[in-house]
Amino acid sequence: MPAHLELTPAWRSARAELRRTVGDSTFDIWLAPLTLQDWDGTTLTLAAPAGTRAWVSNRFGRVLERCAQTSFGPGVKVELTEAPGTAQYPDTSTQPEQRDSAIPDHRELERFIPRHTFDQFIIGDGNRLAHAAALAVAEAPAQAYNPLFLYAPPGLGKTHLLHAIGNYISTFDPGTTVRYTTVEAFTNGFLSALSTRSVDSFKHLYRDVDVLLIDDVQFLASKAKTEEEFFHTFNALYDTGRQLVLTADRLPRELTGIEARLRARFESGLVAQLAPPNRATRVAILRKRAALDRIHLPDSTVLDLIADRVTDNIRSLEGALIRVIAHHSLSGRPLDTELAAHVLDDLHPATANPAGDKPTVETIQDIVATHFGLSRADLLSHRRTAHVAWPRQLAISLARELTDAPLQVIGESFGGRNHATVLHACKRVSNRVSTNPEDAAELTALRSLLTAAASDRSS
């Protein structure tokens, strides 16, 4: 079997990363036709249609190498060759610059990634509110949260939830018009419309919809004309009772460079965060990905090792799994923790003292108590007043999440409570943060304080 056929998982991962990086429209026009020709361990050879090879190489050479390195390893080079017997694509009547900025048609805007559904989204404490809000929007557009604003650093599932909304509505309510786009595509389309005097067509494209899904609104910054058009598009949809869902890499109030009137509209609905997944969620994500790709894992501790090494975002987590599988396929070495450690040592080395990164139960109690203006004795007491009970439940939940202490030990550390009380507190916290944004934000803030405290202690 040719070597490149064995690299399907790695090449598929690289293609997915390319799509996320450049956007659906640009990917479909320029990068989707690329085919994998050869891989010698250091250079990835791709074939492009004859008419676009030079254009793709000049315009996307760096991003191709960056995305290839995510899946195939650091230092990978990409070479483009002409696919034999291919005609020029796109046709010669349209220059690359014109096609790249052309207004995408409705079919491009409505193309949702099939895998990005609610069923395939792994729910954890860090994204529970965002998932619940997105599902509510999909089930009843413009009746639950409008607008819905999702924020998180890259790679934590914002785009997945947007496509999940689109897939859900397309499946269960096909009469509802739902469209997805990025701010980059919106900007390119608008500028093209201005130059071709087709602004009315552009407006109809984005305003004649029931649900508009907008990715990466932080890129509106410093784009005065586009921002003005986006402002009016937002108002046209919102004022007529149609749903908007937006994503960004930060809170609306932190979107410097965007006018206050637009930031205020972003904040007028529900603002929900997606936080980095905890270890249990990371393992669940890896199991789901392995099942989707039909990857047989004779040693399940491989997933534990990857989850321990890769903690920053889901995209890196899945990319690490694909790299391990690709090296197993190429080398024939057993798919075990020894191989996984070898593959990940360069990009995701083991920490010198991983245990030191975990807070103790006592540290959690002290920080939670201080945060709420209580004493540690208050948390350990049997008082049930709300101003003490809720902080105590948060502290118990964080102790279960962030330490390796058994339930019985946690209970005993909180004034001699039993494991049933610990489970009840965890359930209570989970229910509150899934429905109350302020509680969710408070839990996230406490996690950050505890992470900083643990890092300071181990350094």
From the CA atom positions of the chain, what is the Rg in Å? Answer: 24
Average pLDDT, the chain: 82
Q: Note every long-range contact of 328-334, with CB atoms under 8 Å and residues 24 or more positions apart, other chains counting.
A: 329/6, 329/7, 329/9, 330/3, 330/6, 330/7, 330/41, 334/298, 334/299
Domains and CATH numbers, the chain: 3-94 (3.30.300.180), 106-273 (3.40.50.300), 281-350 (1.10.8.60), 355-458 (1.10.1750.10)
Look at residue 88 in the predicted model and tell me its pLDDT.
36
Give the Cα separation of 285 and 119 in Å (integer): 12
| Mean pLDDT for the stretch of residues 115-125 | 89
Q: What are phi and psi of 416, to 5 degrees?
A: 80, 25
**DSSP 3-state helix, strand, coil percentages of the chain (rounded to 5)?**
60, 10, 30
Quote the strand ranges of 122-275, DSSP E: 148-151, 178-182, 211-215, 243-248, 270-273
What are the pLDDT digits (tens) for 6-57? 456 788 888 888 887 776 666 777 788 888 888 888 888 998 887 677 778 8
pLDDT at 94 over 80: no
Determine how many CB atoms are found less than 10 A away from the CB of residue 438. 9
- The two three-digit tokens of residue 432, written as one number: 């509150």
Residue whose tokens read 């602004």: 199
Model confidence pLDDT, tens digit, residues 246-257: 999 889 988 888
d(CA 285, CA 217): 27
Average pLDDT over residues 280-300: 84
Parallel, antiparallel or unpaired: strands 243-248 and 77-82:
unpaired
> How is residue 366 written in tokens?
């002290």
189 with 285: CB under 8 angstroms?
A: no
